[in-house]
Structure 1
Amino acid sequence: MNKLTLGGIIFAALMLLLTYLSVGGSKGGLNDDIVNMLAAAGAVALVIITVFVVIKYVRQMQTDTATGELAEESWDDIGEYKNPVPMGWAIMFMGTIIWGMWYFVAGYPVNAYSQIGEYNEDVKAHQDKFEKKYADIKGNELIKMGESVFIAECKVCHGVDGKGLDGKAANLHERISAENVKHVIENGSAYGLLGEGSMMPNRDGLFNANTNANITDAEIEAVSNYVANGMQGEGADVFAGTCAMCHGADGKGVEYMGPNIAVFDSALVVNVLAHGKKGAIGAMPSFARLNEKQREAAAAYISAGLPDTDDLEGE
């Protein structure tokens, strides 16, 4: 046995020992865990095949000389022999294909235990338990739960006080800014704000009944400021002629037509959390990881009115 072969055997043994210590010594080890078993089997096969191939071809480079018929093509005067694929490579290639088909069809994760599957089952069981335990929570208790959800999920973008971290997210103390109203009028909206994928057209589809014409730039500016100012000031006539049919004369929404744009209400916040939203600042993702009661609680907390920064500092 030459030094190359001996070195390869020692290296393979060392790698297999490290594999056993890292996988077999972890919590749960290899017992009844198909994921760890497959990982260990793959590591063993990889080490053995790699060492075998390296030894074979290093020895071949040391002793063999190339023979055979050269192909007509060459790259930078480097020729290629028309030799068949080595049998070992062909066997490994076909074996890898067969193993891959078995893995995805009969192995993991289709037809076997998996840690991911167990985790998902545990999460579902916890969610069901949570839903059952807090199904009837209402009023102040629901708002308190919503505060916890807000701090855990919403403050990253909106800030602990809900003011939007210097414009990086919407200021939740205001129903909507003039900038966002203008953006929605210009671009339209179809983000499930009523929970059913309702769509608001862009400016080309907005008709002012008072002037019998499409809404103009000046009217967009006026109605944006009117809505952002709490449905007060100039722009009331534009709102009445263009927006009231879907959003109501008071801006508090019409069922199946348009959401409440005067104040936050629970239905609106729940649907924004469920579907996400895109506005002038950017896109807000949906929060599908929250269950229905958590979204309801966050909506109750926001709709009830967030505390001011001064109030938070005084606590």
Structure 2
Amino acid sequence: MGWLSDNVNLFSLIAAIVILVLTIFIAGLLIKKMRDSKADGELTDHKWDGIAEFKNNIPIGYAICFLGLIFWGFWYMFVGYPLDSYSQIGDYNQQVDTHNKKFEQKWQNLDNTDLIQMGEGIFLVQCSQCHGIDAEGMDGKAQNLHRWGKEEGIIYTIEHGSSGLGYPIDMPPFEGAISKEDSKAIAVYVMNVLSDKKKNINDVKDSNKRSVLQDEIKKGKQAFDSMCASCHGNDGAGNDGMAADLRKYGTFDFVKNVLEHGKKGNIGEMPSFAYRNFTDTQIKAISAYIGSLQPLSDE
């Protein structure tokens, strides 16, 4: 009987008993009246085939119950439940929040290898139904995540466009309008200069490779300023929310945004996973796992 400790349940039980008692009492009075009353009284002017209707006032008990039910309904909605008291949904959300805080405390110091392992487990349970257990997108049914967050992902987006992330501007496909060389250069520029994932170019030990990369970045900046900056801004920040913030491409923040809002893309619709209440550690793990995937050799 522990459920009686809940005030809403207790009140509902008492109200149900009162309604049942009143119903039996009033029904008994009306049945007695039908059995004992005589066919007399004031008739209305409405007649049909010689049959007329008595002028009967609304039973006082019925009127009291009706008005009482209206007042109770207002109390129930605005004072008792669900706006100002216990609810199963609210209780569930509190339990999830408590669990997530314990989860964050326990796993907050994972290294990258452990994050990748955790992310793979989450991916297989939550994402593989659409993206496939190999994350290749199941022959175009969903995005191929092997290229996402990398230069290959930028090139794919330039060629095929992007839509459905909730920005006022959808990106049209530029295949044919931008050469493959310029697409590659823009991708190098975005991933090495704009994205928070950028690497230090000075870490490239081979001077020839570093020189080639610097030339590619310079060429990519010129192409970006010409073709992309009008929507994404010169700094790639997205012009105050008009387009995607390329500084966050491939990062935790970008993954979190997609999981929370979903995506209606050219391939299909990805629902929002906000209901799933992923913790920041879980999102970092998903991001780490996707980042660990290598582009396929034929891309």
Which consecutive residues of structure 1, in runs of 5 or more, have no partner in the other structure? 1-23, 192-197, 204-218, 309-315
**C-alpha RMSD of the superposition:** 4.5
Specify the alignment match of 1:15 in structure 2. none
> What is the identity, as a one-letter code, of the residue corresponding to 1:243?
C
Work out the CA distance in 2 between the residues paired with 1:149 and 1:138: 17
Give TM-score, length-normalised by structure 1: 0.59
| Conserved? CA contact 2:260–2:273, under 8 Å | yes
Query: Which of the residues 135, 157, 160 maps onto 2:133?
Result: 160
Specify the alignment match of 2:63 in structure 1. 90
Specify the alignment match of 2:209 in structure 1. none
Query: Which of the residues 282, 290, 302 maps onto 2:278?
Result: 290
- Give the deviation of 1:277 after TM superposition: 1.9
Specify the alignment match of 1:269 in structure 2. 255
Q: Secondary structure at the match of 2:142?
A: coil
| Conserved? CA contact 2:158–2:175, under 8 Å | no
Which consecutive residues of structure 2, in runs of 5 or more, have no partner in the other structure? 187-219
The C-alpha deviation readout for 1:66-123, integer Å capped at 9, x for no partner, is 8544366x99x99876533221110001111222233334434455555544433332
Within 5 A, what are the aligned runs for 1:42-191? 42-57=15-30, 68-70=42-44, 83-109=56-82, 112-175=85-148, 182=160, 184=162, 191=166
Within 5 A, what are the aligned runs for 1:206-285? 220-223=174-177, 241-243=226-228, 254-256=236-238, 258-260=244-246, 264-285=250-271
Work out the CA distance in 1 between the residues paired with 2:119 and 2:250: 14
Assess, with a 3 A threshold, how the Cα gap between structure 1 residues 179 and 245 changes in structure 2: closer, same or farther. closer
Assess, with a 3 A threshold, how the Cα gap between structure 1 residues 178 and 52 changes in structure 2: closer, same or farther. farther
Q: Secondary structure at the match of 1:222?
A: coil
Assess, with a 3 A threshold, how the Cα gap between structure 1 residues 202 and 164 changes in structure 2: closer, same or farther. closer
Assess, with a 3 A threshold, how the Cα gap between structure 1 residues 182 and 93 changes in structure 2: closer, same or farther. same
Question: What count of residue pairs does the alignment treat as equivalent?
Answer: 248
Assess, with a 3 A threshold, how the Cα gap between structure 1 residues 224 and 120 changes in structure 2: closer, same or farther. farther
Specify the alignment match of 2:216 in structure 1. none
Work out the CA distance in 1 between the residues paired with 2:250 and 2:184: 12
| Conserved? CA contact 1:162–1:173, under 8 Å | yes
- Give the deviation of 1:305 after TM superposition: 0.9
Work out the CA distance in 2 between the residues paired with 1:82 and 1:274: 63
Specify the alignment match of 1:36 in structure 2. 9
Specify the alignment match of 1:210 in structure 2. none
Deviates most, 162-171 or 81-90: 162-171
Work out the CA distance in 1 between the residues paired with 2:178 and 2:21: 70
Assess, with a 3 A threshold, how the Cα gap between structure 1 residues 299 and 225 changes in structure 2: closer, same or farther. farther
Work out the CA distance in 2 between the residues paired with 1:151 and 1:303: 15
Assess, with a 3 A threshold, how the Cα gap between structure 1 residues 113 and 189 changes in structure 2: closer, same or farther. closer
- Give the deviation of 1:142 after TM superposition: 1.3
Identity %, equivalent residues: 36
Work out the CA distance in 2 between the residues paired with 1:307 and 1:148: 20
- Give the deviation of 1:265 after TM superposition: 4.2
Work out the CA distance in 2 between the residues paired with 1:78 and 1:183: 77
The C-alpha deviation readout for 1:268-315, integer Å capped at 9, x for no partner, is 22221133222123332332211222112111111211799xxxxxxx
Within 5 A, what are the aligned runs for 1:3-42? 24=1, 28-30=2-4, 32-42=5-15
Assess, with a 3 A threshold, how the Cα gap between structure 1 residues 256 and 183 changes in structure 2: closer, same or farther. closer
Specify the alignment match of 2:289 in structure 1. 301
The C-alpha deviation readout for 1:108-163, integer Å capped at 9, x for no partner, is 44555555444333322222222222223231111112112212322233232223
Work out the CA distance in 1 between the residues paired with 2:225 and 2:262: 28
Assess, with a 3 A threshold, how the Cα gap between structure 1 residues 239 and 307 changes in structure 2: closer, same or farther. closer
